[in-house]
Amino acid sequence: MLYGNQNVRSALSHMAKSRRLAQTFLFYGDNGLGKKTLAQWLAMRLLCTEPDAPCGQCKNCRTIQKNTHPDVIWAEHSGKLGGFSVETVRRICAEAVIAPNSGERKVYIFADCDRMDIRSQNILLKIIEEPPAFAYFIFTASARQSLLPTILSRLVPFGLAPCSEAETLQALTEHGFAQEDAQEAIQCFHGNIGQCIGYLEEEGVRRLVSLTKDAVRCIINKNEYDLLKTFFQVGSDRNQTLRLLQLLDQVFRDAMVLRMSASLPCISCDPDGAGLLSGKLSGAGGQHDHKCIGKALAAVQANVNVQLILSALCAELIAGK
């Protein structure tokens, strides 16, 4: 079941009913907002055989939900960075001109395109510029900037927003979680249903939240040694380091927002820490720390040694106070 982003679904349905549906889309936003779920919903909307599409009950809808429909193709990720190889993209471009197997349309979904390299995007450009009438392409990414301007100019982008906390609570309880546990997850991840589910189901996510909170207290107390120990608990795991830095950056964002007004909503996993940090930060200091974390994130993605990155960041964050 889909929750939230009713405006996006309404816009897509209106485009379809008026026969003005584009053939290439981008759904973008934070991890956990349901981008891939929405991509699957749109595929169902395109291939459903019932008037009230997507019905969720016809053969096409059911096989799409099971990821077994021959005309809904999820592009395969490859490599350490989880991108799409040139060979994969070339094969899809060659197959895209072949008529659908069992209906009038076929859909290609490129999920999580944040690390899609330039070569693969340039190969895709031709088929996106002049797609066969029956072919549709859906991309998902955390940000629009993940795709080249030449790609972006040929698609319709939709940004996804978090659900309300009431919708999130409903979704989590319907998913089988106890209300008390659901409330705990919402305190950390607010209206992001996917991240709330990850918090409730994965020990690793709860550990990262705990490490983020510990790191914030170390920064507030200017305790460089304990901050370094906290950072090093992620070891050399690049993905865990990326996630820890992203969570920490959100706390700094909240701290800067709270400096302007204590009534503004928080988005981080540590609103209490953000409140304490807001009293310690100057405007220039907050910008400095945000830039330092951004530089560290870029270095992790560039394959620089993780422990060297964290050591340097630790010194910069403490010195910036």
Q: What local confidence, expressed as pLDDT, does residue 303 receive?
A: 86
Amino acid at 176: G
Handedness of CA 53, 56, 58, 61 (dihedral sign): positive
Q: Do 171 and 220 lie in a common domain?
A: no
- Expressed as residue numbers, the domain containing 193 is 164-201
pLDDT at 1 over 80: no
Dig out the tokens for 125 from the structure.
Answer: 């450009």
Tens-digit pLDDT profile for residues 212-266: 999 999 999 999 999 999 999 998 899 899 999 999 999 999 999 999 988 888 9
Amino acid at 150: T
pLDDT at 89 over 60: yes
Q: Can you tell me the distance from the alpha carbon of 128 to that of 148, in angstroms, rounded to the nearest whole number?
A: 13
Q: What local confidence, expressed as pLDDT, does residue 18 receive?
A: 87
Q: Contacts for 9-14 with beta carbons within 8 Å, 24 or more apart? A: 9/38, 9/41, 11/158, 12/42, 12/45, 12/158, 13/45
Q: Do 315 and 233 lie in a common domain?
A: yes
- CA 77 to chain CA centroid, Å, is 16
Q: What local confidence, expressed as pLDDT, does residue 302 receive?
A: 87
Are 108 and 95 in contact by the 8 Å Cβ rule? The answer is no
Q: Do 25 and 145 lie in a common domain?
A: yes
Taking the model in full, what pTM does it have? Answer: 0.86
Give the model's confidence band at 28: pLDDT under 50 very low, under 70 low, under 90 confident, else very high.
very high
Share of the chain above pLDDT 70, in %: 99
pLDDT at 19 over 90: no
- CA 187 to chain CA centroid, Å, is 19
Other C-beta atoms within 10 Å of 238: how many? 17
Tens-digit pLDDT profile for residues 114-143: 989 999 999 999 999 999 999 999 999 999
CATH label of the domain that carries residue 259: 1.20.272
Q: Do 177 and 267 lie in a common domain?
A: no
Q: Do 14 and 66 lie in a common domain?
A: yes
Tens-digit pLDDT profile for residues 70-87: 999 999 998 777 789 999
**Average pLDDT, rounded, for the chain:** 94
Does some domain include residue 1?
no
